[in-house]
């Protein structure tokens, strides 16, 4: 069976090597003794881990080459810090580090800019959360996290919200095999409601039936935000006359709208 050639950053992914556990352990042993060639083989032999991780981020609109390079940084960090004496598979150790590196990249390149101090609070809060979960075997509250950090509860909530990845309005949230339901389908748009649209039509129709002086007074009062005194000075009549004309125009508009 032939594999399709797919190049990412100049790497032919169909020809990436796969290392066996024995080979991995030997290469790690040599790397720890200073063998740079062994480190390079470990990187090349685990690039498939990076490929599997970046597939999770396909819907972010980022270039695959960029995600692959960032993922490789996470892979190299995990190779340099992996301890053979720990009873854990390398892939189990490496995948979270690769994911973390990509998430940091996405956050730092997020069009919604978050201040450095806010990000620091958020990352410290996440570390405290993980520690408390390991100690108590339950999810800590934001109040408990804030107490551990010695900061206000509101700061922790705001910081954690700020680093959340934005969700696309076209993100599918349900699909039963038919047409998917997107985030935007669950949102209400006050500007486009049928009731508001009908009210605007009725308002325009009510204004159309007023005489020119009444139209002018209504526009200046309710669309330009002017006082009755300011309107009176502009059109050369008394404030009492403006008040009477305004009330009469409103009564007429109400009658026209209710017809």
CATH of the domain at 196: 1.10.10.10
pLDDT at 5: 47
pLDDT at 208: 81
Residue 237 lies in a domain: yes
- Are residues 16 and 101 both part of a single domain? yes
One-character DSSP codes across 133-193: HHHHSSPPPHHHHHHHHTS-HHHHHHHHHHTSPPPPTT-EEE-SSSSPEEGGGG---GGG-
- Are residues 141 and 196 both part of a single domain? no
- Are residues 103 and 31 both part of a single domain? yes
Mutual orientation of helices 153-162 and 142-149 as an angle, nearest 10°?
110
The 10 Å Cβ neighbour count of residue 242 is: 24
Residue 195 lies in a domain: yes
- Are residues 102 and 148 both part of a single domain? no
pLDDT at 179: 61
Q: Count up the domains in the chain and report the number.
A: 3
Residue 183 lies in a domain: no
Query: For the whole model, what pTM was predicted?
Result: 0.43
- Are residues 11 and 31 both part of a single domain? yes
pLDDT at 110: 62
Instruction: List, in order, residues 6 or more apart from 51 with CB less than 8 Å away.
Output: 8, 13, 16, 68
- Are residues 38 and 76 both part of a single domain? yes
Residue 136 lies in a domain: yes
pLDDT at 3: 44
* Domain's final residue, options 162, 180, 199: 162
Residue 177 lies in a domain: no
Residue 134 lies in a domain: yes
Beta-strand (E) ranges in the chain?
7-8, 11-12, 172-174, 181-182
CATH of the domain at 91: 1.20.120.1810
- pLDDT tens string, the chain, 259 residues long: the values are 344 445 565 566 667 778 888 888 899 999 999 999 999 999 999 998 898 888 888 766 677 888 888 999 999 999 998 888 877 788 888 888 898 888 888 877 765 555 677 778 888 888 998 888 888 888 888 889 999 999 888 888 878 877 666 655 556 665 556 566 665 555 555 555 545 555 666 677 778 888 888 889 988 888 888 888 888 888 889 888 888 898 888 888 877 665 4
Residue 169 lies in a domain: no
pLDDT at 2: 40
**Which residues on adjacent β-strands are paired with residue 23?**
none
* Domain's final residue, options 108, 136, 152: 108
- Are residues 88 and 121 both part of a single domain? no
- Are residues 207 and 120 both part of a single domain? no
- Domain with 242, as residue range(s), is 191-258
Alpha-carbon span 185 to 169, nearest angstrom = 8
- Are residues 87 and 44 both part of a single domain? yes
**Which residues on adjacent β-strands are paired with residue 172?**
182
Contact (Cβ atoms closer than 8 angstroms) between residue 235 and residue 215? no
Of 68, 78, 95, 99, the C-alpha closest to 28 is 78
Alpha-carbon dihedral 136, 140, 143, 148, rounded to 10 degrees? 50
Contact (Cβ atoms closer than 8 angstroms) between residue 75 and residue 49? yes
């Amino acid at each position: 069976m032939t594999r399709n050639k797919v190049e990412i950053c100049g790497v032919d992914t169909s020809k990436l090597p796969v290392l066996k556990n024995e080979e991995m352990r030997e290469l790690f042993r040599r790397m720890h003794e200073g063998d740079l060639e062994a480190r390079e083989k470990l990187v090349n032999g685990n690039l498939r881990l990076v490929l599997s991780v970046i597939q999770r981020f396909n819907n972010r609109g980022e270039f695959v080459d960029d995600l692959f390079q960032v993922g490789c940084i996470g892979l190299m960090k995990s190779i340099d810090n992996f301890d053979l004496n720990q009873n854990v598979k390398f892939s189990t150790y490496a995948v979270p580090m690769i994911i973390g590196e990509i998430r940091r990249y996405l956050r730092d390149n997020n069009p919604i800019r978050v201040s450095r101090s806010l990000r620091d609070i958020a990352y410290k809060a996440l570390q405290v959360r993980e520690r408390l979960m390991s100690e108590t075997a339950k999810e800590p509250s934001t109040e408990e996290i804030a107490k551990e950090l010695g900061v206000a509860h509101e700061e922790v909530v705001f910081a954690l919200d700020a680093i959340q990845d934005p969700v696309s309005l076209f993100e599918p949230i349900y699909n039963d095999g038919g047409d998917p339901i997107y985030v935007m389908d669950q949102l209400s748009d006050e500007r486009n409601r049928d009731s508001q649209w009908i009210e605007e039509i009725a308002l325009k129709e009510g204004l159309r039936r007023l005489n020119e002086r009444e139209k002018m007074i209504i526009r200046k009062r309710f669309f330009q935000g002017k006082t009755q005194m300011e309107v009176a000075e502009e059109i050369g009549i008394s404030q009492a006359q403006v008040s009477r004309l305004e009330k009469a125009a409103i009564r007429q508009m109400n009658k026209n709208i209710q017809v």
